């Protein structure tokens, strides 16, 4: 692969409520559980403990959300509403649950875990990473889509600038191996590319499906693989972002916009 100069962290996005809207940050602390503080700290659940997420319930896409951690509040509105409905996260659970249950047409609760257990792959992916150029390339494959919408479809936590499209393919290695890299003072381990689900096929605000999205994506992705990409070892090309493990040694450290990114080498999966 061609060496690129000066890659840096250009965007940090956490998702306080799993499957709901993201929150852009200038810096993020690595918290207990090897994830970014407040990322997927909350989730929606039915009465049987099944999470209500975009993979299984398209109504998630029509629910806008804002979380204020200092005030301990969450604001929600249906995409068709103009006014926000504000709730205290801990003192107004009954009212909050009633609003959510009405939106989904079934009993829905808010659950909490601040140690990363609500992440999709909590033990192997405390963060996901990709390049801005990759999102720009994907946007070009779909004439009706724009970059901010594509970014919202793939929901990465870390975004790198000043690298070519799919540069992040160099951040994973073979079986049982990781790629060690640093973002400023924080060391991360790239574990594997992330296979995508139904969520990126849908318009983020409405849940409307983009026709033939996985097939179109995979065709272009395969044709755009950078030299030496490890994705050739995988059964298909419907992958974007890299799963990153954040070791326990990094808890308490801070990622900041502008932090340089440097690949350090490979090491076995801990």
- DSSP-assigned letters across all residues of 96-116: HHHHHHHHHTS--EEEE-TTS
Fold type of domain 8-13+120-268: M1 Pyruvate Kinase; Domain 3 (2.40.33)
The alpha carbon torsion through 217, 22, 115, 75 (nearest 10 deg) reads -140
Q: What is the residue-level pLDDT of the chain in tens, covering all 270 positions?
A: 444 469 999 999 999 999 999 999 999 999 999 999 999 999 999 999 999 999 999 999 999 999 999 999 999 999 999 999 999 999 999 999 999 999 999 999 999 999 999 999 999 999 999 999 999 999 999 999 999 999 999 999 999 999 999 999 999 998 889 999 999 999 999 999 999 999 999 999 999 999 999 999 999 999 999 999 999 999 999 999 999 999 999 999 999 999 999 999 999 998
How far is 135 from 137, CA to CA, in rounded Å? 5
In the block, tokens 């940090």 appear at 12
Nearest CA among 230, 251, 218, 225 for reference residue 175: 230
Distance set, CA 209 to CA 69, 198, 212 (Å): 32, 9, 9
Structure tokens at 110: 């808010």
Neighbours of 30 (CB within 10 A): 24
Structure tokens at 44: 């929606």
How far is 110 from 16, CA to CA, in rounded Å? 12
Looking at residue 270, its pLDDT comes to: 85
Looking at residue 231, its pLDDT comes to: 97
Looking at residue 5, its pLDDT comes to: 63
What strands lie across the sheet with 254-256, from one edge to the other? 35-36, 27-31, 254-256
Structure tokens at 150: 């594509």
Looking at residue 134, its pLDDT comes to: 98
Domains of the chain, residue spans:
8-13+120-268, 42-112
Evaluate whether 257 touches 11 at the Cβ level (below 8 Å).
Answer: yes
Evaluate whether 122 touches 31 at the Cβ level (below 8 Å).
Answer: no
């Amino acid at each position: 692969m061609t060496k690129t100069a000066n890659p840096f962290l250009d965007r940090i996005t956490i998702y306080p409520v799993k499957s709901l809207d993201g929150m852009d940050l200038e810096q993020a602390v690595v918290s207990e559980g090897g994830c970014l503080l407040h990322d997927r700290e909350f989730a929606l659940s039915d009465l049987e403990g099944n999470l209500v997420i975009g993979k299984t319930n398209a109504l998630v896409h029509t629910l806008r959300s804002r979380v204020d951690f200092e005030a301990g509040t969450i604001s929600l509105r249906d995409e068709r509403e103009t006014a926000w409905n504000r709730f205290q996260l801990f003192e107004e659970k009954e009212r909050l649950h009633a609003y959510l249950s009405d939106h989904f047409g079934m009993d829905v609760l808010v659950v909490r875990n601040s140690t990363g257990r609500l992440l999709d792959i909590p033990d192997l992916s405390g963060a996901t990473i990709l390049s801005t150029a990759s999102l720009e390339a994907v946007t070009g494959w779909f004439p009706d889509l724009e970059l901010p919408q594509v970014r919202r479809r793939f929901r990465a936590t870390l975004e790198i600038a000043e690298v070519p499209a799919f540069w992040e393919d160099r951040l994973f290695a073979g079986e049982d191996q990781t790629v060690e890299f640093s973002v400023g003072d924080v060391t991360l381990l790239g574990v594997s590319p992330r296979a995508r689900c139904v969520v990126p096929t849908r318009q983020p605000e409405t849940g409307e499906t983009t026709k033939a999205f996985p097939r179109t994506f995979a065709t272009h992705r395969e044709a755009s693989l950078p030299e030496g990409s490890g994705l050739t070892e995988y059964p298909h090309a419907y992958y974007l972002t890299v799963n990153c493990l954040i070791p326990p040694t990094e808890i308490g450290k801070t990622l900041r916009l502008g932090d340089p990114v440097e690949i350090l080498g490979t090491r076995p999966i801990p």
